[in-house]
């Protein structure tokens, strides 16, 4: 796998985690707040990671989800999804400018192909926020993945790129391209989430998936 350019590392972390939230949720409605931590033996990556997002939020209402995090310089990354309606919108705000990318299922499949692992259950369990979670793991070359998820909060598959996992992810940890990243739920609130949370203004400039992929995405082994 080729080394990911440093300027796109935080976006790839976001893409990896946002792809975990592209399906309906069923039982749980509310908000989950995740702490995000990074470390690397590479001094350049470690220095860069100090500017990466330290917190992410997930909002869920039925088949609707919104995953978002703030980035340095006042920017923001948002991903809104409704699997039933095939609605997938990525919004990025940087340096006072905003744009959105409307993603088809085929576009998501391309991203999933680039950011995916085959997972197996480890048999380990632990409690996160008082909820019993199961662990699934994967190792591909020098890259590793660990996911703790709760079948109690959702009994279906919510991870298109991890089809073996059925449950709401409360901890997600990867070591990929020399960067160790961990998302872990800090707070979980069962509450009503207004439907306008999942709407995006029509005035935000739209760019094509091809332009987005050319400037921000990457391919394995390229």
Q: Provide the domain count of the chain.
A: 1
Give the DSSP H/E element, type plus range, for residue 211: helix 209-216
Q: What is the CATH number of the domain that holds 195?
A: 2.50.20
Q: Within a 13 Å sphere around the CA of 141, how many CA atoms are in the beta-carbon half?
A: 11
Write down the pLDDT at residue 203.
92
Is residue 58, in this structure, part of any structural domain at all?
yes
Please state the pTM of the whole predicted model: 0.81
Is residue 144, in this structure, part of any structural domain at all?
yes
- The answer to which of 6-10, 133-137, 151-155, 209-213 has the lowest mean pLDDT is 6-10
Is residue 167 pLDDT above 90, yes or no?
A: no
Beta bridge partner(s), residue 13: none
Residue 18 buriedness (CB in 10 A; 0-12 / 13-18 / 19+): buried
Is residue 1, in this structure, part of any structural domain at all?
no
Is residue 160, in this structure, part of any structural domain at all?
yes
| pLDDT, tens digit (0-9, with 9 covering 90-100), for 92-133 | 888 788 999 998 878 777 766 655 567 888 999 999 999 999
Contact 71, 10 (CB under 8 A): yes
Is residue 222, in this structure, part of any structural domain at all?
no
* CA dist., res. 117 & res. 33, Å (int): 24
Of 38, 60, 35, nearest to 168 (Cα)?
Answer: 60
Is residue 107, in this structure, part of any structural domain at all?
yes
Is residue 36 pLDDT above 70, yes or no?
A: yes
| Domain region containing 70 | 6-216
Provide the 10 A C-beta neighbour count for residue 222: 7
Is residue 188 pLDDT above 70, yes or no?
A: yes
């Amino acid at each position: 796998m080729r080394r990911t350019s440093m300027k796109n590392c935080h976006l790839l972390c976001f893409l990896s985690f946002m792809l975990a939230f592209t399906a309906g949720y069923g039982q749980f409605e509310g908000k989950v707040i995740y702490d995000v931590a990074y470390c690397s033996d590479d001094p350049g990556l470690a220095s860069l990671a100090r500017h990466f997002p330290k917190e992410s939020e997930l909002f869920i209402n039925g088949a609707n989800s919104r995953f978002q995090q703030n980035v340095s310089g006042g920017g923001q990354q948002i991903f809104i999804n409704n699997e039933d309606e095939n609605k997938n919108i990525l919004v990025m705000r940087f340096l006072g400018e905003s744009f959105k990318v409307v993603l088809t299922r085929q576009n998501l499949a391309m991203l999933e192909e680039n950011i995916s692992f085959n997972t197996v259950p480890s048999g380990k369990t632990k409690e996160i926020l008082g909820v019993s979670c199961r662990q699934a793991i994967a190792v591909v070359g020098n890259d590793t993945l660990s996911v703790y998820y709760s079948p109690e909060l959702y009994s279906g598959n919510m991870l298109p790129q991890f089809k073996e996992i059925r449950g709401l992810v409360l901890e997600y940890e990867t070591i990929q391209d020399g960067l160790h990243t961990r998302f872990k739920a800090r707070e979980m609130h069962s509450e009503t989430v207004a439907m306008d949370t999942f709407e995006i203004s029509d005035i935000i400039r739209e760019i094509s998936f091809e332009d987005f992929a050319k400037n921000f995405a990457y391919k394995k082994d390229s």
